[in-house]
Structure 1
Amino acid sequence: MTDPQPWVALTYRGLADLLATAAVDTWDAPSLCETWLVRHVVAHVTMPVRLTPVEFATEMAAAGGDFTVLSNSMATRGAALPRTDLLDQLRSPTLHAWQPPGGGAAGALSHAVIHSLDVTIALDRPTVAPAGAVRSVLDTLTNASGAIFGIDLAGVRLEATDTDRRWGSGEVVRGDSGSLVALLSGRTLPDGRSLPRG
């Protein structure tokens, strides 16, 4: 796909559809994001629906310019919203069109895919992002040799079990494309696997 933005919308809609039919306690299940429940992940990705650029700048200033502080604060506040509000925000055209500053459509796709996997892998549910979107993000992360999230791929060979893609040489790490994306994003999989930081 030349323009990845349509994949962003499909990923968020898929996540909304999954959570709309899931048990209520699913929202309070742990995600792959350390310390965040599913509801925190949803609150995080939908932040662009709730904040204008001016409001974002104000919140960033209040956080002392630390995006991690801002992100955690906004996720905590957003997680307290009614589930129906968060589902509506996942389906919002504003979210589907949003692009991170300097990241463009590719950055928006990575954000959507990685965080959707934070939910689906943790819940042991099928991936909601289109297969092509997951492969595109996987290519981005492997082409960067793990540097985006500070992963050390020296002596590591990645093998996707759902495609013929292979990267690197050394100790073999196998998994479906979504699991490899999560590993390259610094996540620990439910089976305990992780990749070393550089």
Structure 2
Amino acid sequence: MMENMPRAEVWAAIHRERTALAEGLAELTPDQWAARSLCGQWTVEEVVAHLTAAASTGRWRWIRSMAGARFDPDLHNQRRMLEQRGAGPDETLARFRAVVTSTTAPSGHTPAWLGEVVVHGEDIRRPLGLPGTPELAAVTEVARFFAERDFTVAGRTIRKGLHLVATDGPFDIGAGPEVRGSTLALVMAMAGRTDYCDELTGPGVPTLRSRIADRRPRSGGGRAADALP
């Protein structure tokens, strides 16, 4: 059985992943900032603003914001994203850099917030062809968390009845038709990104792909079971 990463180590991993992403973002052109990400309809700049919002929203502010949005996670996320989007990419990036070491989060589920930066980091890097791969230990912790519950993503629902096997690490869970691939590809599939299904093999891949396709695309969402906050 995989052991959970200690809380302090999860926060350290979050800070490292945010730092690495911020360094890569510093090299983007205006066209790249305006490019479509893998996160719904959001551009790269909007995803970065969303990450800043997530790292700036504690439990009570999250509850008030969700109540104000009538518990519509998309509306909540859109409002908080717009708060943190600057007048241009430079200001948006500066705001993100300011929260790189933040330990503020809507709940104490630290692996979920590690998943936030891992998944959204890939949402940015993948369409732009940017270098950079999250640490395997961090991605493994996210994979374990996503697979065990429907919290920020519908990971447990998506992988139900399938045997997920990482080819580059210890992640191995479930029983049924097998799905094999990198830990990162498995994480991104559980997060609802169909692009990563092309990197997976095994008889369970068609089922996995179908389940992802059946879920309504979203731009984000607080505790919505099929969307990262």
| TMscore range, shorter length | 0.7 to 0.9
1:147 equivalent among 137, 147, 150: 150
**Structure 2 partner of 1:11:** 17
Counterpart of 1:196? 211
- For the aligned residue pairs, the C-alpha RMSD in angstroms reads 3.0
2:112 matched residue in structure 1: 107
Structure 1 residues 13 and 95: alpha-carbon distance in aligned structure 2, compared to 1, 3 A threshold: closer
**Is 66-75 or 101-110 further displaced after alignment?**
101-110
Q: What is residue 122 of structure 1 aligned with on the other side?
A: 127
**Is the partner of 1:173 in helix, strand or coil?**
strand
Q: Does 1:68 align with 2:83?
A: no
Tell me what 1:138 maps to: 143
Aligned to 1:36: 42
1:31 deviates by 1.6
Report the residue type matching 1:20 in the other structure: A
Q: Distance in 2 between matches of 1:117 and 1:153?
A: 20
SS at match of 1:170: coil
**Residue of structure 2 aligned with 1:97, choices 95, 102, 107:** 102
Alignment match, 2:162: 156
Contact (CA 8 Å) 1:30, 1:37: kept in 2 or not? Answer: yes
Contact 1:110 1:137 in 2 (8 A): yes
Matching residue of 2:224: none
Deviation at 1:163, TM superposition (A): 2.0
Spell out, residue by residue over 1:18-59, the C-alpha distance to the aligned partner (whole angstroms, 9 max, x if none).
111133211122222111111111010101566688876664
- Secondary structure of the corresponding residue to residue 194 of structure 2: coil
Residues 33 and 111 (structure 1), Cα distance of their counterparts in 2 relative to 1, 3 Å cut: same
The alpha-carbon distance between structure 1 residues 79 and 172, as it changes in their structure 2 partners (threshold 3 A), is farther
Structure 1 33/110 Cα, relative in aligned 2: closer, same or farther at 3 Å? same
Q: So what's the TM-score if we normalise by structure 2?
A: 0.70
Which of 167, 170, 175 is residue 176 of structure 2 equivalent to? 170
Q: 1:51 to 1:32 in 2, by over 3 A?
A: same
Q: Which runs of 5 or more residues in structure 1 are unaligned?
A: none
CA distance in 2, matches of 1:53, 1:82: 29
Q: State the alpha-carbon separation in 2 of the partners of residues 50 and 131 from structure 1.
A: 26
Once residues 20 and 6 of structure 1 are traced to their aligned partners in structure 2, the CA distance between those partners, rounded to angstroms, is: 21
Contact in 2 for aligned 1:158/1:167 (Cα 8 Å)? yes
Say which is worse superposed, 102-111 or 40-49, in terms of deviation: 102-111
Q: What do the CA deviations read for 1:128-168 (whole angstroms, capped 9, x no partner)? A: 532221111112122x1x53323332332222232243322
Taking structure 1 as reference, are residues 172 and 51 closer, same or farther at Cα in structure 2, changes over 3 Å only? Answer: closer
Instruction: Check conservation: 1:137, 1:181, Cα contact below 8 A.
Output: yes
Deviation of residue 11 (structure 1)?
A: 0.8
Unaligned runs of 5+ in 2: 199-207, 216-229
Change (3 A) 1:63 1:160: same
Q: Is the 8 A contact 2:164 2:180 kept in 1?
A: yes
Q: TM-score, normalised by structure 1?
A: 0.79
CA distance in 2, matches of 1:107, 1:169: 24
